[in-house]
Amino acid sequence: MKLHPIWKPYPSISKELTNTLNLMEKSINLKNKSVEQAVLEMIHSGGKLLRPAYQLLFSQFGPEQDRKKAMALAASIEMLHTATLIHDDIVDDADLRRGLPTVRSSFGNDVAVYAGDYLLVCCFKLLADYSGSLKSLQLNSRSMEKILSGELGQMDSRYKLDGTVEQYLENISGKTAELFGLSCFIGAYESGMNQRFAKKCGDIGLNIGIAFQIIDDILDYTQDSQEIGKPVLEDVRQGIYSLPLLYALQENTAALLPYLEKRENMTDEDTQKVFTLVHELHGVEKAQALASDYTSKALTAIDKLPENEQQTKNILSTITKKILNRTN
């Protein structure tokens, strides 16, 4: 098991993330060993572990430094994230994730449904075992509710040619940013900081999450299918029109319409044409500008965080810059 190289310069966080993965592994105990194996492979597939990492980093601000608890709560966040990925892959009919076969493609949708449910329940179990209070669980469950409500909201927007930037931001807030926000909030709150401070940390996470998702959506228009580990613009075929395409549509709906109206019957040439048009109509450029706005908001707020022994503030700033300037 190898951690993503992004964590190499930080031995202390690296160690805690490794322990977090081990703790996740220990919490998963299925009789069906091949399903268990698939879930574990997914967990160890080399993602950046951003959500548990942010949670661990924000947990360094408070007076309560129970690291075992911090790692268990970080594991619970990553479990929740993994559960939603397994279920997302059912909804998206996805065969690959991070270049590996998805649970649904290896075992079928039926196993993937229950495997995701099982991880959700494992997440609850860790939260119940390690949260400091019922209050923290209450805040946590409200955030989870927003995440699921966001997933269902996105489905409503499918194939909409007149989607607005606001709707897009609302959808990705639910789908992605809320979980980043929750990680930062719970990290601070469960380390003994008050709700006001934790809320500020949560807002940093929200802004990071929004920038992160916009950049992820931009990558669909800047990478080829091999680099990204899934077919080019598969999402567009499925009616998910992300920010670069929305901006391009605002500029010239008529140019894009002949391709988009074929919906799931779009050919590879059609998606290639959409790919080119989105660039020509400045969709990528404008999306990059909006991502920069959210990145700046996050970095400005990080800069105002208190200093501490572990230099958390500097690490947060460096990591955030790194992941939000990513080209892969």
Interface contacts to a copy of itself, rule CB under 8 A: 29-32, 35, 83-84, 87, 90-91, 109-111, 113-118, 120-122, 124-125, 127-129, 131, 133-134, 137-138, 140-142, 144-145, 147-149, 151-153, 155-156
Residue 322 tokens, joined = 């790194």
Q: Which amino acid is at 52?
A: P
Residue 223, by phi and psi: left (phi above 0), alpha (psi -120 to 50) or beta? beta
**Smallest distance, a copy of itself to C-beta of residue 12, A:** 29
**Smallest distance, a copy of itself to C-beta of residue 24, A:** 14
Nearest to 114 by CA among 125, 128, 103: 103
* Whether 85 contacts 97, CB under 8 Å: yes
Distance CA 311, CA 314 (A): 6
**Smallest distance, a copy of itself to C-beta of residue 102, A:** 13
Cβ distance to a copy of itself smaller for residue 21 or 79: 79
Cβ distance to a copy of itself smaller for residue 152 or 254: 152
- How many other CB atoms are found less than 10 A from the CB of residue 293? 13
Residue 208 tokens, joined = 């990071």
Cβ distance to a copy of itself smaller for residue 173 or 295: 173
Strands 100-101 and 96-97 turn out to be: antiparallel
**Smallest distance, a copy of itself to C-beta of residue 296, A:** 30
Cβ distance to a copy of itself smaller for residue 72 or 291: 72
Q: Which amino acid is at 88?
A: D
**Smallest distance, a copy of itself to C-beta of residue 110, A:** 4
Cβ distance to a copy of itself smaller for residue 17 or 126: 126
Cβ distance to a copy of itself smaller for residue 117 or 227: 117
- How many other CB atoms are found less than 10 A from the CB of residue 282? 16
**Smallest distance, a copy of itself to C-beta of residue 249, A:** 22
Distance CA 193, CA 90 (A): 38
